[in-house]
């Protein structure tokens, strides 16, 4: 559908801004914690509805150079700006009118595009970190030269066309998926994820596209079947859930180099879920994909637990995809105009 964008959302509920304290510190040793809740069978309890509510962008904005952290003054400025923007959103302003002036100020990118899809309300959490990416140290995605060109070609085509057949829109517009890599921390309609644990399984239900991962947590070996969401195998390392995923399939007709929308078949994704306090999972992704990236990269993303009564609602995208016939109809009209000129 047309609303797909890499956008972080405001929240359903309204609350005060909560600063994420201090700069990022590497995860400590996997010593069993006594402070986190446990399931009845003794695993760390990750259950609930979770979302990334931070304002840290994936990549470090260029003007920040090699600075991994912001000054106290800069943090205070951003908190004030966030509060102001949140108030404007509540008053009904959208997109650029909210005052988020540049892609650099958006958590991912393109926060102005179709912002009416976002559920506004709660200010995002401001932190002194300058990028979610902690490795490489420059906070940038280490695209290969070819991948950078492909990404540019896709960015030029996205939302522009041509849309000659149903294969031409990207996977989100086709109501297929926006992919696994960004599932925990992206999503145009809230980025909500419900985690449910049962013995031997961790299941993640993501609201958008009703994406679902049933992850066996028994350290079995990978099978041979390729899937959109790959083949995910979990294991516990101390109190950290480690999910290793390979066997992705790439059936998109798009050249995105960002591997969350277009999982390359050589992608190897390792995710770590570590519950650090009652309301936070420190979610770490390490992405290895030699066809897209010159080296592996790692991002550390604080994920927030939403109130207990937060629900994941049904996302009937394909069932109501009026956009697809309209997009193709528009494509034909464009083609007819071009040929009659």
Partner 1 sequence: MRTVSWIAIVIVSAVAGAALWVHLPVSAQEESYTAPRTADGAPDLNGIWQALNTAHYDIQAHPARPALAIIPASPRSDTPGLVRATHVELPAPVVRPFGAVGGVPAGAGVVEGDEIPYQPWALAKKKENADHWLERDPEIKCFMPGVPRATYMPYPFQILQGTDKILIAYEFAGATRTIHMNTVGDSPSPTWMGWSRGRWDGNTLVVEVTDFNEDTWFDRAGNFHSDALHVIERYTPVSPHHLMYEVTIEDPKVFTRPWKMRMPLYRRFDRDAQIREYKCVEFVEQLMYGHLGVVDPATGTINK
Q: List contacts with partner 1 (CB under 8 A).
A: 39-41, 45, 47, 162-168, 174-177, 194, 196-199, 201, 203, 205, 210-212, 214, 216, 220, 223, 225, 227-229, 251, 309, 311-314, 316, 318-319, 324-325, 328-329, 331-332, 335-336
Whole-number minimum distance, CB 15 to partner 1, in Å?
A: 19
Nearer to partner 1, 155 or 205 (CB): 205
Nearer to partner 1, 106 or 177 (CB): 177
Nearer to partner 1, 2 or 47 (CB): 47
Task: Give the ranges where the chain is alpha helix by DSSP (H).
Answer: 72-90, 145-157, 323-340
Whole-number minimum distance, CB 44 to partner 1, in Å?
A: 13
Nearer to partner 1, 46 or 86 (CB): 46
What are the distances in angstroms from CA 314 to CA 47, 123, 207?
19, 25, 7
Instruction: For residue 132, give the 3-state DSSP assignment.
Output: coil
Strands (E) located in the chain = 48-51, 133-135, 193-198, 201-206, 212-216, 231-237, 240-246, 268-277, 280-288, 297-305
Between CA 301 and CA 110 the distance in angstroms is 19
Whole-number minimum distance, CB 334 to partner 1, in Å?
A: 8
Whole-number minimum distance, CB 119 to partner 1, in Å?
A: 13
Nearer to partner 1, 18 or 205 (CB): 205
DSSP per position, 91-103: TT--GGGGT--SG
Dihedral (CA of 39, 27, 181, 19) sign: positive
Whole-number minimum distance, CB 305 to partner 1, in Å?
A: 14
Whole-number minimum distance, CB 42 to partner 1, in Å?
A: 8
Nearer to partner 1, 117 or 166 (CB): 166
Contacts of residue 19, Cβ cutoff 8 Å, sequence gap at least 6: 75, 79, 125, 126, 127
């Amino acid at each position: 559908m047309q609303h797909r964008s890499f956008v972080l959302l405001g929240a359903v509920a309204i609350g005060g801004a909560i600063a994420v304290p201090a700069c990022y510190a590497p995860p400590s040793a996997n010593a069993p914690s006594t402070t986190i809740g446990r399931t009845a069978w003794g695993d760390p309890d990750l259950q609930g509805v979770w979302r990334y509510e931070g304002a840290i962008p994936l990549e470090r904005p260029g003007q920040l150079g090699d600075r991994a952290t912001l000054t106290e003054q800069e943090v205070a400025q951003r908190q004030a700006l966030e509060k102001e923007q949140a108030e404007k959103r509540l008053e009904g302003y959208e997109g650029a009118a909210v005052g988020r002036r540049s892609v650099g100020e958006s958590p991912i990118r393109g926060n102005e595009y179709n912002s009416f899809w976002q559920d506004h309300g709660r200010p995002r959490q401001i932190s002194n970190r300058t990028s979610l990416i902690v490795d490489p140290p420059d906070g940038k995605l280490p695209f290969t030269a070819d991948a950078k060109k492909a990404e540019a070609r896709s960015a030029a085509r996205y939302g522009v066309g041509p849309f000659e057949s149903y294969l031409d829109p990207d996977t989100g517009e086709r109501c297929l998926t926006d992919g696994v890599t960004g599932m925990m921390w992206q999503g145009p309609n809230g980025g909500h994820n419900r985690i449910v644990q049962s013995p031997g399984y961790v299941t993640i239900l993501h609201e958008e596209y009703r994406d679902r991962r049933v992850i066996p947590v028994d350290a079995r070996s990978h099978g041979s079947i390729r899937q959109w969401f790959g083949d995910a195998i979990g294991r516990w390392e101390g109190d950290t859930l480690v999910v290793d995923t390979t066997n992705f399939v790439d059936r998109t007709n798009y050249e995105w180099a960002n591997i969350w929308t277009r999982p390359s078949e050589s992608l190897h994704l390792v995710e770590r879920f570590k519950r650090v306090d009652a309301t936070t999972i420190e979610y770490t992704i390490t992405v290895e994909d030699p066809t897209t990236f010159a080296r592996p990269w790692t991002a550390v993303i604080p994920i927030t637990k939403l109130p207990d009564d937060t629900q994941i609602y049904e996302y009937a995208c394909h069932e109501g995809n009026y956009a697809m016939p309209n997009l193709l109809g528009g494509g034909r009209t464009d083609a007819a105009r071009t040929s009659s000129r």
